[in-house]
Amino acid sequence: MRNHKHAMMALAFVTIASILLAACAPAAPVEVPVTVVVKETQQVNVEVPVVQTQIVEVQAPSYSKPHPILSDLKVRQAIAFCTNRAELIQSVYTWLPADQQANLFMDTNIPGVSWAHYTGPETTKYDFDAAKGMALLEEAGWSAGADAPAGTIRSNANGDRLSLKFTTTTAAFRKTWSAVFVSQMKACGLEILALYAPASWWFGSSTGLRHRDFELGAYAWVGETDPKGQTLYACNQIPTAENGWAGQNYMGWCNKTASDAINAANNSLVRADRVAQYKIFQIEFTKDMVSLPVFQRAEGNAATLDLINFRPSATEYFTWNADQWELADGRDTLVTGQSQEPASMYTVVESSASQRFPAQLVFGTSTTQVDYDFQASQANLATVESGAASNNDVEVKEGDPVVDSSGTPTDADGNLLTLTAGLKIKTADGQEVEYAGGAVTMKQLVVSYTWQDGLTWSDGEPVVQADFELAYKNDCDPTSGAVDYSLCQSIQSVEFNSDTEYTVTYKPGYQAALYFLPPIGYYPSHQVLSDGRKLNDVPTAEWASLKEIAETPLGAGPYILTNWEKGVKMEFVANPFYYKGEVKIKNITISFVQDTQQAVAQLLTGEVDVLDSSTLGAGDEVQTVLDNQDILQVHIVPSATWEHIDMNLNVP
C-alpha cells in the first residue's frame, strides 16, 4: 500500500501542521501525478475491447440490487486468482529488478511493513493460480464448454456472457498495467470491456466513482502511518442516492464483522486493541474479496556512494535523519537536488513537501513517521500506554463545548459546537447517539506532552515555556492564515507546566488516533526583529510577511539557513548549539534544478549528491541511476500510493 505514503519557526510546529493536514485531508481517491514514462517497446500488445462512450453528467441511479455477476463470491475470488500481479508490476516497472518488484506486492489494504498489517493463516491468499480461478468460475456456473479453446469467453446456463466493464483513467501508466489485466482475464474466460475515462469524470463530485458508476474500477489510495479506513469500508459509508452519495465504500460492501472491526480499530487509543481489530478486519477483507490490492507504486531515491546513513522512507521526508548523515570521503559539504522551491519557511501557511525538506534541516523533527510507524524525536510519544495520556469519563450537559461523533469541533458554518439537542455525539461506551437533553457521559482526553531537555535555538538561547505559549497563541489565532484550525478548536484548555512540558485537555468527544503527537510547537519568543520589536509582541497577522519567519528563521534543528538565492539554491551551515551535538556534515546546499533529466545529469557528474523520490520520480531516469550503481546508491521504496481494483456489488 504505498504510496503513503506531510514552514515553521520551530520544528515542533512542523508537527502541528502535519497533524492538521493529515487529520483534515479527506481520504479520497487520488490521480497521483505519474512520472513513469512507458516506451513504445515496453507497451504490452494485447487487444483490449474498448467501450466507446460519450460521457455526460446525468442523475445517477441508486445502486441497491445485487450485481448479477460480482455479487457471487466465487467470481470475485476467481478474478483475484486469475490476476498475475507480477506481470502487472513488470509491465510498468521494467527497470526494476525482480526482487524489488516483489516488494511492491499488496496482500491486504495495509502495507506489509505497517504495525497494523496482518497476513496470518486466517487470511485468504490470492497467489496467481489461473486453474483455481477457472475452477471457481465453473462452480459459479460460468462455463466455456468442454472442448472450447483457451480464452473462450464463458457463459451461464441462460446464455449470458461473462462480461464486465472495467473503468479507470486515461493515464498511460494505468492503461499499461490494465491492458495486461484484461489479457489475463480473457485467458480465464472473462471478457473485460475497458473504459478509459477522463479523471475529471472518474473522480468527479457527481459522476464516476462517487456515484458508483462502474463494475470493476481501478484507482489509487494513498496510505498513511495510521491506517484509518472507516470511510472506505464501514457499512454506514456506502454511497447511495438516498444518503446524498456520502461515504467512500464504493463497493457497497457490508460485512458486519469487518465493519465493527474497522470502527473499533479507529475508536480505540490503545495500540494493542487496534492491532487486534485490524487483524479481524483484514481476515474478512481478504475472505470477501471486494477490492483487489494490485501493487504499491515504486519511487526512486539516489545518492553518492559516499553518503552514509541515507535512509529514505515512504512515510517520512528524506531529510528526517540529516543529522546522522556523513560523507565517507571526508567532505564537509553536501548538495541535494530539488525540482521544486518552497514559497516560505513558515509552515503554518506553506504545506508543500518542497518546504518540509529545508524545514527539517532548520527545525529538526518533533516526532518522525519512518516506515509506517511513529518515533519520538524532540518530543516523546504521549501515549495512554506510557501513562502520559488518560481518557476519562466526564459528565456533560446542554451548552457544554464538545466534539461531535465525526470528530468535528464546529458546525457547517464554522461555529464552535456546544451540546445541543439533535447533535450526534459518542457516549463514553462508544455508542453514537443523538443528544436529547440532560446529562450524558463522554470521553475526555487529557495528555501531557514532554520535550527533550537541552533544546536550544540556533542563536544559543534555550527553548523555554514562553516559546510554547507563543506557538499556541499564534498558530491557533484565526488571523495566522493556517490551512486548518480544527485541532486548535478541539482543545478545551492548555496548562504550560515547565520549559519541557505542557498538558492539553481536549473537549469531550475528541478521540483522534494521533492524540499522542504534540499539537503545539515553539517559536523564539525572545527574538528581536530588524525593526526592534520582539517576536512575542508582533501581531499574528504580520508573521507571514516577516523575513525572520519566512526566509531566515531561527530553529533548534541541526542546521541554520544562511542564504536563500531564489530560484537557485538554499545554503545551510551546522548549528553549533544543536542539542544532539556536532553533526558530521558542516554544510548542506539545496540546489534547484529544472527537471529530472538535468538533476540526474548533475548527480552523475557529482554536482549533486542526493536526489529524493520527489525529484527522481519513477520514470526512465531511474534506469539511468540503476545503470550507474558503481558510483551511486539507489533506494527503490514501495511508496504509500497503491493501485487496486474495486468490485461493485450492486447495480441500479
246-249, long-range: CB within 8 Å, 24+ apart, which pairs?
A: 248/27, 248/28, 248/29
Average pLDDT over residues 336-349: 95
- Helix or strand or coil: residue 302? strand
Phi, psi (5° rounding) for residue 254? -130, 95
Of 596, 568, 605, 573, nearest in space to 586 by CA: 573
- Helix or strand or coil: residue 569? strand
Tell me the C-alpha distance between 148 and 244, whole Å: 46
Q: How far is CA 99 from CA 102, 105, 118, 173, in A?
A: 5, 11, 22, 21
**What pLDDT shows up at residue 61?**
61
Is it the case that residue 3 has pLDDT exceeding 80? no
Residue-wise pLDDT for 262-299, tens only, equals 999 999 999 999 999 999 999 999 999 999 999 999 99
Domain assignment of residue 279, yes or no = yes
Domain assignment of residue 51, yes or no = no
Task: Tell me the CATH number at 425.
Answer: 3.90.76
Contact criterion met (CB below 8 Å) for 516 and 381: yes
Residue-wise pLDDT for 33-69, tens only, equals 333 333 333 333 344 444 444 444 445 567 889 999 9
Is it the case that residue 13 has pLDDT exceeding 80? no
Is it the case that residue 31 has pLDDT exceeding 90? no
- Helix or strand or coil: residue 17? helix
pLDDT bucket at 338, cuts 50 / 70 / 90: very high
Residues 285 and 349 in one domain: no
Average pLDDT over residues 448-471: 98
Sheet holding 389-396, edge to edge: 389-396, 440-450, 501-506, 491-496
Domain assignment of residue 42, yes or no = no
> Left if phi > 0, otherwise alpha if psi is -120 to 50, otherwise beta: which for 3?
alpha
Residues 279 and 321 in one domain: no
Of 160, 143, 165, 128, nearest in space to 49 by CA: 165
Tell me the C-alpha distance between 627 and 642, whole Å: 26
**What pLDDT shows up at residue 60?**
52
Task: Tell me the CATH number at 253.
Answer: 3.10.105.10
**What pLDDT shows up at residue 8?**
33
Tell me the C-alpha distance between 583 and 308, whole Å: 13
Residue-wise pLDDT for 451-462, tens only, equals 999 999 999 999
What's the structural domain count of the chain?
3
What mean pLDDT is reported for the chain? 91
- The C-alpha cell at 75 is 467470481
The CA-to-CA distance between both ends of the chain, in Å, stands at 31
Is it the case that residue 437 has pLDDT exceeding 50? yes
- The C-alpha cell at 188 is 480465464
- Find the range with the poorest average confidence among 54-68, 148-162, 383-397, 433-447: 54-68
The residue ranges of DSSP E strands in 119-262, in sequence order, are 163-169, 191-197, 216-222
Task: Tell me the CATH number at 598.
Answer: 3.40.190.10
**What pLDDT shows up at residue 59?**
53
Residue-wise pLDDT for 602-641, tens only, equals 999 999 999 999 999 888 899 999 999 999 999 999 999 9
pLDDT bucket at 255, cuts 50 / 70 / 90: very high
Give the global pTM.
Answer: 0.88
Percent of the chain predicted with pLDDT > 70: 91
Residues 151 and 132 in one domain: yes
Residues 86 and 121 in one domain: yes
Pairing between strand 491-496 and 501-506?
antiparallel
Domain assignment of residue 525, yes or no = no
Tell me the C-alpha distance between 592 and 102, whole Å: 34
Sequence length of the chain is: 652
Residues 212 and 92 in one domain: yes
Residues 105 and 212 in one domain: yes
Domain assignment of residue 233, yes or no = yes
Tell me the C-alpha distance between 535 and 553, whole Å: 11
Residues 207 and 328 in one domain: no
Residues 293 and 311 in one domain: no
Average pLDDT over residues 16-26: 34
Q: Cβ–Cβ contacts within 10 Å for residue 550, how many? A: 19
Task: Please report the sign of the dihedral spanned by the C-alpha atoms of residue 215, residue 219, residue 225, residue 230.
Answer: negative
Residues 144 and 89 in one domain: yes
Residues 416 and 302 in one domain: no
Domain of 596 in residue numbering reads as 298-367+537-637
Residues 489 and 385 in one domain: yes
